[in-house]
Amino acid sequence: MIKPHGSDTLNSLLVTDADQLQQLRNEAESLPSLLLNSAAAANAVMMGAGYFNPLTGYMNLADSLSVAETLHTVDGLFWPVPVVNLVKDASAIEGAGRIALRDPNTEGNPVMAIMDVDAIEQVTDAQIHMMAQEIFGTLDPEHPGVSTFTGLGRHMVSGNIQVLSLSYFQADFPDTFRTANEIRDEITQRGWQKVVAFQTRNPMHRAHEELCHMAMKRLNADGVVVHMLLGKLKKGDIPASVRDDCIRKMVDLYFPENSVMVTGYGFDMLYAGPREAVLHAVFRQNMGCTHLIVGRDHAGVGDYYGAFDAQTIFADRVPEGALDIEIFNADHTAFSKKLGRVVMMNEAEDHTKDDFILLSGTKVRELLGNGIAPPPEFSRPEVAKILMDYYQLENA
């Protein structure tokens, strides 16, 4: 199986030994406490679940600036996005060497990790803006990732962590949330060698479905891991539970048996386009996938990124040998009225835009909200039914 990024074996930071877990929980009650913001909590979940291997904790300022500017830590580890714990007020933990990190997304704010504090550093506005510009390619406050990142705070708390809880993800998505270790184990159990990862924060329409089929066929892959984001999204995005139902329905009806794993991970969407695409590649390698589908405007939002910037970054900014996972570059896929099937648009000769069935996200939401199914060439009717029920309930 493909090796994890940066190490020979996967180093999950989640404490699983029952006695050690209880000991740490008892210790946490006497430690100074820090309530995390959702972004820092998501980073803890990803480290706990093994997706951010080989990181052992939150980055300090020097590493964060280096990663933002060069895609490497000070010590030379390839990494695409700073993994930070930024806070607005660090007075409660000032001078502490060991602290309890509390979960902002679970009722009662239980302890989700214990941290050995290496440093609490003041970050200037100029440094925050430099990092945001590098990560997101813009400082536009209307960009959801920029507004989140620049609003997290100016105190950076760094150090190694021991993760005691993966927040609400295991309880809320017991059939879907999986750690990187669990996905590796299942890939082994299924006997898969060549494995394609498909990233999604949306329900999968016909184009996405066919893209997975295309990648599997062209790569001669054993299977595809549909890996959906289960964390926080921007306003208007479809909830994870609805997406989960849609994807499972599509897989059950339109994929061969033992060809798809439907899984999810606990992270808040960054909307960082190219940088986030590279982060996706890192943690898909960590979970055992050999290939990642990178499509048009992967991890983008609005018009902030070029259609294929998330593909070109792998050639332009990722050094040879930095990652073992390979990228399956995909064009926009759509149903061709001429050919009677879904195709990559750049591979369809003698076609104009009018030869494809193309619907904007706004138009699709409008149809669904009015109880009208999109054309079957665009969306499977069984999937459309789930989405219509959701939108009509939302609009009631």
Instruction: Decide which of 167, 195, 215 is a domain's last residue.
Output: 167
pLDDT of residue 362: 73
In sequence order, the 6+-apart residues with CB closer than 8 A to the CB of 276 are: 80, 81, 269, 270, 298, 299, 310
Residue 10 lies in a domain: no
Q: What angle do CA 162, 167, 171 make, to 5 degrees?
A: 130
379 and 237 within one domain: yes
What is the pTM for the complete model shown? Answer: 0.94
Enumerate the active-site residues. 201-202
Total structural domains in the chain?
A: 2
Pairing outcome for strands 57-58 and 333-336: unpaired
191 and 163 within one domain: no
What domain range includes position 388?
176-265+271-395
189 and 162 within one domain: no
pLDDT of residue 120: 98
Residue 189 lies in a domain: yes
322 and 236 within one domain: yes
305 and 251 within one domain: yes
**pLDDT, tens digit (0-9, with 9 covering 90-100), for 165-181:** 999 999 999 999 999 99
Between helix 381-395 and helix 361-369 the angle, nearest 10°, is 70
pLDDT of residue 396: 66
119 and 190 within one domain: no
pLDDT of residue 266: 95
Instruction: Decide which of 167, 196, 225 is a domain's last residue.
Output: 167
377 and 248 within one domain: yes
C-alpha 386/C-alpha 214 separation (Å) is: 25
**pLDDT, tens digit (0-9, with 9 covering 90-100), for 121-176:** 999 999 999 999 999 999 999 999 999 999 999 999 999 999 999 999 999 999 99
pLDDT beneath 50: ranges in the chain: none
180 and 161 within one domain: no
181 and 107 within one domain: no
- Residue 177 contacts residue 333 (beta carbons within 8 Å): no
Query: Which residues are 197's β-sheet partners?
Result: 225, 292
Residue 258 lies in a domain: yes
Residue 5 lies in a domain: no
- Read off the tokens for 131: 């990092």
Residue 6 lies in a domain: no
365 and 221 within one domain: yes
CATH of the domain at 365: 3.40.50.620
Residue 255 lies in a domain: yes
CATH of the domain at 94: 3.10.400.10
154 and 71 within one domain: yes
Instruction: Decide which of 167, 202, 218 is a domain's last residue.
Output: 167
357 and 244 within one domain: yes
Residue 206 lies in a domain: yes
